[in-house]
Amino acid sequence: MLEQKNNDTKTKLGDIYHYYIVLQHCLELQENEVIFVEKYGDISVVSDDNSKNVEIKHHGGQHHLNNRNTDFWNTLRNWVKYHQNMRQFKKLILFTTSDYSTKSSLMNWNASNGFERLRIIKEIGEDKKSAETSFRPLFDEIFLYDEHIILEVLEKVELHLNQVNITSIEKSLLKSPFFKSIKRHDRPNFIIYLMGYILRLPVSEPHNWSISCEEFESLSCELRDRFTSTSLPMQLPPNTPEFPTNMQDYHDKRFVREINEIQYNSKVTSAISNYYRAQQTIYYTSINNPIFTLDLGVFKQELSETLMENKSSLLDKCDTTDPDDIISKSKKHYDKAMELPATNFGTINPNRGYFQKGIIHKIVEERGHSWNVTK
């Protein structure tokens, strides 16, 4: 059968591969991180600690990245052209299934500094050839910009070569601890549901294609509940003491300072104990239940919202001109939080009182919640 000229299957494989890599980055999201798809390039992760812009290139079969390969030069041209947008990212990553060609000047790129990289690309461009219609316009456009701008971009560029191709990407994803709580035969369908959600994100107004860590966790927990009814107990490491050995160090932490600020010093010792044991439980439980950390993110968000609602209610009843009433209502806010019944969440059944109280203290420590009802 004659193959049609408009058969674009192989090109579309690159798009599908792109979406798999989006899912891979969603699985790696940390708290408060957001992924943008196509807004600044293929994938962008906005984060306080790990911001990056990723360009994805997929090739069927063996493919080499030589000195003049347009995957590299077109990507670099775009990064330089939109250098102002790229300033928000700490890393600019070319993620490709290609490998280095044996004579590639780019082979030691990741180990080179910005000035060495600038020298490398200049030397490649200085070698003028008769057939370079694809390469030369890209090279020339890059060097229309001031050298300090080019250098600023080059210092962030990383080459991630020899990545698994589309025939292996799903197998690679399924190795993630994220899927361990899903029955093996259900895992491919679980991926299909996640991919479908990601692909539908830009359909609705205002057509933004982004997903936050918290949104992905919420979705994943909802889907996970459809695929599994497994419940697991909370696990505190054997022989864990009630209090940490470095008790005094905890007095410098925010959650302790918050308790002292509302003059509730008698609660500090139990707060440290609950915080410490919750920390130990998180570490120990996550070893045997990888989905636990996902569930925990959603649980923290729900608890945080409950705390804010309780605080708002008490503030309405508080005489904010009376310091004594502020302290009284703030203590009541603390007491109501500690009296909340331990709620089961995700795969955890039953939850434990010490753990929920410890998580509340972690919310104060990490998310800035204050016991003072006026703050």
DSSP string, 303-358: HHHHHHHHHHHHHHT--TT-HHHHHHHHHHHHHHHHTSPPPPBTTB-S--HHHHHH
Q: Same structural domain for residues 209 and 281?
A: no
Q: Same structural domain for residues 133 and 24?
A: yes
Q: Same structural domain for residues 28 and 91?
A: yes
pLDDT of residue 223: 75
- C-alpha dihedral sign at 172, 176, 179, 184: positive
Q: Same structural domain for residues 297 and 194?
A: no
Q: Same structural domain for residues 118 and 189?
A: yes
Counting Cα atoms < 13 Å in the Cβ hemisphere of 203 gives 6
In a domain, 327, yes or no: yes
Q: Same structural domain for residues 169 and 254?
A: no
Based on its alpha-carbon atoms, the radius of gyration of the chain, rounded to whole angstroms, reads: 26
pLDDT in tens, the chain (375 residues): 555 655 566 667 888 899 999 999 999 999 899 999 999 999 999 999 899 999 999 988 788 999 999 999 999 999 999 999 999 999 999 999 999 988 899 999 999 999 999 999 999 999 888 888 899 999 999 999 999 999 999 999 999 999 988 888 888 888 888 887 777 888 887 888 888 888 888 887 788 899 999 888 888 877 777 666 566 667 788 888 999 999 999 999 999 999 999 999 999 999 999 999 999 998 888 776 656 777 788 889 999 999 999 999 999 999 989 999 999 999 999 999 999 999 888 778 788 999 999 999 999 999 989 999 999
Q: Which of 156, 190, 223 is the last residue of a domain?
A: 223
8 Å CB contact between 54 and 80: no
CA angle (129, 132, 136) in 5-degree steps: 105
Residue range of the domain that includes 359: 247-367
- H helices within the chain, ranges in order? 9-27, 70-81, 83-86, 114-126, 135-142, 147-154, 166-174, 187-200, 213-227, 254-261, 268-288, 292-316, 323-338, 353-367
Q: Which of 188, 223, 258 is the last residue of a domain?
A: 223
In a domain, 213, yes or no: yes
pLDDT of residue 25: 93
The domain total for the chain is 2
Q: Which of 158, 189, 223 is the last residue of a domain?
A: 223
pLDDT of residue 145: 96
Q: Which of 242, 220, 157, 243 is nearest to 347 (CA)?
A: 220
Q: Same structural domain for residues 16 and 51?
A: yes
Q: Same structural domain for residues 79 and 214?
A: yes
Q: Same structural domain for residues 283 and 321?
A: yes
Q: Which of 269, 265, 266, 288 is nearest to 277 (CA)?
A: 269
Q: Same structural domain for residues 207 and 255?
A: no
- Cβ density class 49-82: b for 16+ within 10 Å, e for less: eeebbbbbbbbeeebebbbbbebbbbbbbbbbbe
Q: Same structural domain for residues 91 and 161?
A: yes
pLDDT of residue 273: 94
Q: Which of 195, 190, 176, 247 is nearest to 222 (CA)?
A: 190
In a domain, 239, yes or no: no
In a domain, 1, yes or no: no
